[in-house]
Amino acid sequence: MHKKYNREITNIYLSDMNNILNGLISIKDAIDASVTADLQNNVFMKIGGKLDINVTTKQGNILYPATYQNSAFDNFSTDPARLAEKNFDILNEGIDVIVNVKILHYSFLAIALLLFYILIFLGGLYGYYRKISTKIHLDELQKNKELNRLHELENKRLQEIDILSEERESLLSEFDQLKSTFKKEKSQAEITEEDLFEEIELLENKLKEIDRLKGKIQELEKSQNHISRQKDKTVEKLGKRFKALYKNIEITNRALASLTDMTDEMSLKAEELIHQLNNDPSLVPVKRKVFSKKGKTTCFEVVFAYNGRLYFRKSKEKRIEILTIGSKNTQQKDMAFIDSL
């Protein structure tokens, strides 16, 4: 900007060169008229800018701005020839143009520049916020995906264990029947030795099958224990996150475990309700007040997502304690848990 206006003033300060060389006007008055006319139409100065312009000869005599100087060229003759000669001498001597550009405080331009940089900063801040929000959202999606996979795997393993347990019971029953049959057949004299060995071989095969199934059940139990440990870690991570986010909330491990077993939609609705309880419990609509059978625990029941149920109470320190979270189908188990407190 400094170079721009320095170039602009340099181009216009001697715009009346014909009159200067013809001695019709002094060079000082010509510079004053040209610069003054340019500044009156300068948009930069109208919106709060300031131009400090100094035009001097090489010997330091000030030509602009107009000042009082007791020098020879301040009292030029009115004779055009002598004035033209003096103007020509000053031009040969050389003229220096110095322009300093400033922006006045509290001017429109200063405020506009300040707002511009504030908008740039806010834009960068908003971009950073969007980036962090996207990362958190992706982490949540990944966590939910992993929880769903573990939940499906757990259900599948439980079904396999149930099927193998039924097969085990069936084989044990069949084994007992075969053993009883073997004893009866053994007591019968008419059974041939060959038939007896066939029965023994069949019985041994059944025993081997039972041992194989026992080993498979043990492997599935180990797999189930691994899934349970993963679920415990998930519950622990969820508890740490809630403790960091919701300073006014205490939540039991049972409630955290219930959240991990819920669908994504139910879990999201439950967390929205927990967020409301943390910020302002008075805004949460309570369905009913629940009393335990022993009369030791009084809590409140809140409905969410139509089928969801959340039970909480207020501690002596006026904090919200979430006891358990479930659905209409788990209501009896949830009430039994509250009675046990």
Q: 3-class secondary structure for the chain? A: CHHHHHHHHHHHCCCCHHHHHCCCCCHHHHHHHHHHHHHHCCHHHHCCEEEEEEEEECCCCEEECCCCCCCHHHCCCCCHHHHHHHHHHHHHHCEEEEEEEEECCCCHHHHHHHHHHHHHHHHHHHHHHHHHHHHHHHHHHHHHHHHHHHHHHHHHHHHHHHHHHHHHHHHHHHHHHHHHHHHHHHHCCCCCHHHHHHHHHHHHHHHHHHHHHHHHHHHHHHHHHHHHHHHHHHHHHHHHHHHHHCCCEEECHHHHHHHHHCCHHHHHHHHHHHHHHHHCHHHCCCCEEEECCCCCCEEEEEEECCCEEEEEEECCCCCEEEEEEEEHHHHHHHHHHHHHC
Q: Where in the chain is the domain with CATH 3.30.2310.20?
A: 246-341
CB-count exposure of residue 270 (10 Å: 0-12, 13-18, 19+): buried
Homologous superfamily of 246-341 = RelE-like (3.30.2310.20)
In tens, the pLDDT along 211-231 reads: 778 777 777 766 666 666 777
Both tokens of 298, joined, read 């009084």
Residue-wise pLDDT for 170-193, tens only, equals 888 888 888 888 788 776 756 666
Tell me how far apart the alpha carbons of residues 115 and 108 are, in angstroms, rounded to a whole number.
10
Structure tokens at 109: 């331009």
Please check whether residue 110 is in contact with residue 104, taking contact to mean a CB–CB distance below 8 angstroms: yes
* Contact by Cβ (8 Å): 292, 341: yes
pLDDT in tens, 62-90: 888 876 554 444 444 567 888 888 878 78
CATH classification (class only), 132-244: mainly alpha
Strand partners, 289: 300
- Where is mean pLDDT largest: 64-73, 91-100, 223-232, 279-288? 279-288
**Residue labelled with tokens 């479930």:** 326
- Which distant-in-sequence residues (6+ apart) come within 8 Å of 128 by Cβ? none
Q: 323 pLDDT exceeds 70?
A: yes
CB 64 within 8 A of CB 28: yes
- The pLDDT tens digits of the residues spanning 234-253 come to 888 988 999 889 999 999 99
CATH 1.10.287-classified regions of the chain: 132-244
Closest alpha carbon to 328 in 315, 340, 310: 310
Q: What would the pLDDT profile of 148-172 be if each residue is shown by its tens digit?
A: 899 888 888 888 888 988 888 888 8
Residue 286's pLDDT band (cuts 50, 70, 90): very high
ω into 285 cis (within 30 of 0)? no
pTM above threshold 0.85: no
The highest-confidence range among 103-107, 205-209, 335-339, by mean pLDDT, is 335-339
> Tokens 């010509």 appear where?
30
Mean pLDDT of 110-126: 85
